[in-house]
Amino acid sequence: MFPVSLIIVFPFIIAAIVPFIYRRFTKIHVGWFVLLVPIFLLVMLARLIPSVAGGSTYIHTYKWIPHLGINFTTYLDGLSMIFGLLITGVGSLVILYSIFYLSSKESLQHFYCYLLLFMGAMLGVVFSDNLMVLYVFWELTSVSSFLLIAFWHHRKGSRQGAQKAMLITVSGGVAMLVGFIMLHSMTGTYSIREIISSLSEITDHAFFIPAMILILIGAFTKSAQFPFHIWLPDAMEAPTPVSAYLHSATMVKAGIYLVARFTPIFGGEQVWFWVVSGVGMITLFWGSFNAIRQTDLKALLAYSTVSQLGLIMSLLGLGSIALHLGYSKDSIIYTQATFAALFHMINHSTFKGALFMVVGIVDHELGTRDIRRLGGLMTLMPFTFTVATIGSLSMAGLPPFNGFLSKEMFFAATVAISELNAYSLDTIGIIFPIIAWIASVFTFVYCMIIIFKTFLGPAQPEKLDKPIHEAPIGMLISPLILVAFVVGIFFFPNILGEYILRPAMASIYPTFAEAESLTPKISAWHGINAELLMTIGVILVGALLYYRLKNWKPIYSLFSQKYTFNALYNKVLSDSEVSSTLTTKSYMTGFLRDYLVYIYLFFIVTTGGFLLFSSAFSFSVSTNAPISLYEAILVGVMAIAAVAMIFAKSRLTAVLLNGVLGYAISIFFVIFRAPDLALTQLVVESVTTALFLLAFSHLPDWKKEKSSSNTKMMNGIISIAVGAIVMLIGLSAINYNSFESISVFFEDAYELAGGANIVNAILGDFRAFDTMLEVVVLFIAGLGVYTLIKLRAKKGAEDIEDQ
């Protein structure tokens, strides 16, 4: 059995060697080599489908930080299997599509490296059982998606879209991390499986609800839920293969996965039900409503993605109520909402991936995505038209396509929930089917826009940059395969339900004894019922609204762009830049004295405050050794030199007096029988004094450096305070025994390090580690300098803006 951990690591390994493959095999498109990676992983996962469907799970653990409970533990079950198949399956088709979409003049080695990094990170998210490991991969998806969205970095829109996606998703990830830490504090484990098993012990904990909310914030930001959805439309500046992969089948589905995975933990809570289903419904409506106003095909698909993600999220929220009700024949019907969520998630990946590729074909072949410049493409681009029609009708929820099946189940779930006597749903639950129906009407309208505005009607060749022609077969293979699944799933849905959806349902509802009853029989015909009537209403009203689109579309002008979440984001970002600049300038004065003041004041407040308000200060002369005459003389010489340095009239005198202090300290080391330290101090002091004298002629004239009396007084107060605190620390250290002495750590220094002198052992074996790390830091800095010098951008590239 191929370990799941290697499935995660494999894309990272190949990503590291992609640049070498690109340089070595110049006559072969590097994408063909990369294509083998997701295909291989897909085959490995597909081989496990029968065993996972039979109830098997696969767990592998590699020790990482075991004393903190952080290990690289992978867990493959029914739920993670769905996402693993989507990541590798759609990834294979996207890479095949990109081979024909991207020009050979592009930086292909970087593109495929970023894509593999993202693929590995997504696999890490869905297969990780340890919360901390999951978080690492979660943020890695944000970093790698930033690189992919900003791939065309010479475009201003790409840079801004990548920045927005990064800021929003990473901020949500930090909130999620705090929630994970709260879960650990409640359970003492980072394992998701162990947290689920100890659920009964934590539901009444004070951290339970806060942890839930913080984890949901992470899920909502990643899956573009309202009001965090604003990053997704801007992320469409990425190349179309990136959009087809990240924003239809992978990155935005990470939030869906997180909610599904944590449903067994939080799903029984009322807060979870209302927050997840409520936010999902709002996102569903708002995304579909805003999609209609778009004139860019890719922007329209972006808002449709937001809407469809809201639909899936709302279904997960609705289905969670079954955990509150407990297992029974009456409550099992409500688990069908979760079943519909998983089913529609797969359907959405098929039809939305195909539609993104269609838009990419139109843009690639005609040079525009502007709906106002398109039309009449059906006869000249028949294959592209066929794919677009199938994908759009499936998204609209019409037969004979897979979107119809899951949309009907969505309607059925909202109707069933509205009649439930729990959480006051019997009174206000009617809002769910109402919003679902209205949003579906808008969905129908924008699907008709895709079909009719782009492919039907009169052609407008005079508005196009290129002549109208069909795409090459290489670009059509991937979308044709996806729409084949759209049709195939409609006619054979129960194969998917039996082998893929049923084991995933068992993962979400582990406490329900009869897992078989969690998977309903999928059928296209259930008689004349509420959901069928809702579908008929969607078609009739949607067709009427599309026909009268010009009459009611001006309503969008009532929504001012000044009062949108995008405007709020831009204002916050702008204000933060201004305030941070002012704040930075207030303390970054350019004067060394000011920086030393900050450091010393912090030292005085923290260390002095600790000595003042604790029992740390303890000093007794009874245990002190007698002070010899030589020691007294040396102390006197050092005191005279230190005081004289303050009143020195020239810099040369101050440098020499500073040397007296250093050499006196080295004599102290000799008296205290530490010759190694004395030698080190003599060398350092000699070199320091010599450097001072060498730089003497380059220093400014001391006489011109004048300070006000207030500055001198402040300097004096700070100096005396710091000196006093250091003295008190030294005196306190003699009798401070609240903690075990650090010398115990070095008791076996001779046996372990071979050093007869403990100071030698510290310098040779322990201090050396610090030196090695310092060398690494210098090496990295050197690489950065080399990169800036040798890998400079092409002249004028940074000035190119997206037109």
- 28, 116, 337, 339, 429 from 529: Cα distances, Å: 57, 46, 17, 20, 19
Q: Say whether pLDDT at 780 is over 80.
A: yes
Highest average pLDDT, of 37-41, 234-238, 568-572, comes from: 37-41
Mean pLDDT within 119-138: 96
Indicate if the pLDDT at residue 37 is higher than 50: yes
Handedness of CA 220, 303, 147, 345 (dihedral sign): positive
Report pLDDT for 489: 96
Give the Å distances, CA to CA, from 627 to 632, 718, 735. Answer: 7, 29, 18
Tokens of 423: 């959480």
What's the rounded Cα separation, in Å, for the pair 373 and 376? 10
**With 50 as the cut, is the pLDDT of residue 802 above it?**
no
Asked if pLDDT for residue 799 goes beyond 60, the answer is no
Per-residue confidence (pLDDT) for residue 291, from 0 to 100: 95
Q: Is the pLDDT of residue 705 over 70?
A: no
Yes or no: say if 151 and 111 are a contact pair by the CB < 8 Å rule: yes
Return mean pLDDT, the chain.
89
CA angle 257, 6, 70 (to 5 degrees): 65
Q: Which of 119, 111, 87, 107 is nearest to 13 (CA)?
A: 119
Between 712 and 114, the more confident residue is 114
Query: Which of 295, 450, 298 is CA-nearest to residue 373?
Result: 295
When pLDDT is cut at 50, 70 and 90, the band that residue 798 belongs to is very low
**H or E element at residue 64:** strand 58-65
Give the model's pLDDT for residue 2: 66
Q: Which of 63-77, 322-336, 434-448 has the lowest mean pLDDT?
A: 322-336
Give residue 797's pLDDT.
Answer: 46
Q: How confident is the model at residue 743 (pLDDT cuts 50, 70, 90)?
A: confident
User: Within 128-249, where are the H helices?
Assistant: 131-149, 156-187, 192-197, 208-222, 231-234, 240-246
Band the pLDDT of 737: cuts 50, 70, 90: low
Answer yes or no: is pLDDT of 114 > 80. yes
Give domain 591-750's CATH architecture.
Up-down Bundle (1.20)
Q: What is the per-residue pLDDT for 210?
A: 95
DSSP state of 75: E
Looking at residues 711-724, what average pLDDT do you find?
Answer: 88
Residue scoring higher pLDDT (100 or 711): 100
In this model, does residue 84 exceed pLDDT 90? yes
More confident residue, 327 or 547: 547
3-state helix, strand, coil in the chain (%, to 5): 75, 0, 20
d(CA 547, CA 554): 14
Q: Is the pLDDT of residue 399 over 70?
A: yes
Kindly indicate the confidence band of residue 704, based on its pLDDT and cuts at 50, 70 and 90: low
pLDDT, tens digit (0-9, with 9 covering 90-100), for 263-303: 999 998 999 999 999 999 999 999 999 999 999 999 999 99
Q: 223 pLDDT band (50/70/90 cuts)? A: very high
429-457: string of b/e by CB count within 10 Å (b at 16+)?
beebbebbbbbbbbbbbbbbbbbebbbbe
Tokens of 680: 């080190």
Q: Residues with Cβ < 8 Å from 14, sequence gap 6 or more?
A: 34, 37, 116
Lowest mean pLDDT among 145-159, 380-394, 509-523: 509-523
pLDDT beyond 80 at 514: no
**Considering Cα of 616, then 617, then 623, then 627, what sign does the dihedral take?**
positive
Q: What is the spatial distance between Cα 186 and Cα 190, in angstroms, rounded to a whole number?
A: 10
What's the confidence (pLDDT) of residue 712? 80
Q: How far, CA to CA in Å, does 507 sit from each of 78, 257, 265, 575?
A: 6, 12, 12, 45
Which residue ranges make up each domain of the chain? 276-489+516-547, 558-588, 591-750, 751-793
Encoded tokens for 569: 């984001």
Q: Is the pLDDT of residue 186 over 90?
A: yes
At 521 the three-state DSSP class reads: coil
Q: How far apart are CA 284 and CA 303, in angstroms?
A: 10
Predicted confidence (pLDDT) at residue 803 exceeds the cutoff of 50: no
> In terms of Cα–Cα distance, which of 179, 185, 215, 181 is closest to 201?
185
Beta-bridge partners for 191: 130
**Stated pTM of the model:** 0.82
Across 764-792, b (16+ Cβ under 10 Å) vs e yields: eeeeeeeeeeeeeeeeeeeeeeeeeeeee
Other CB atoms closer than 10 Å to residue 324's CB: what's the count? 16
Which one, of 137, 145, 174, 139, lies nearest residue 162 by Cα?
A: 145
Tens digit of each residue's pLDDT (9 = 90 or more) over 402-451: 999 999 999 999 999 998 888 888 889 999 999 999 999 999 999 999 99
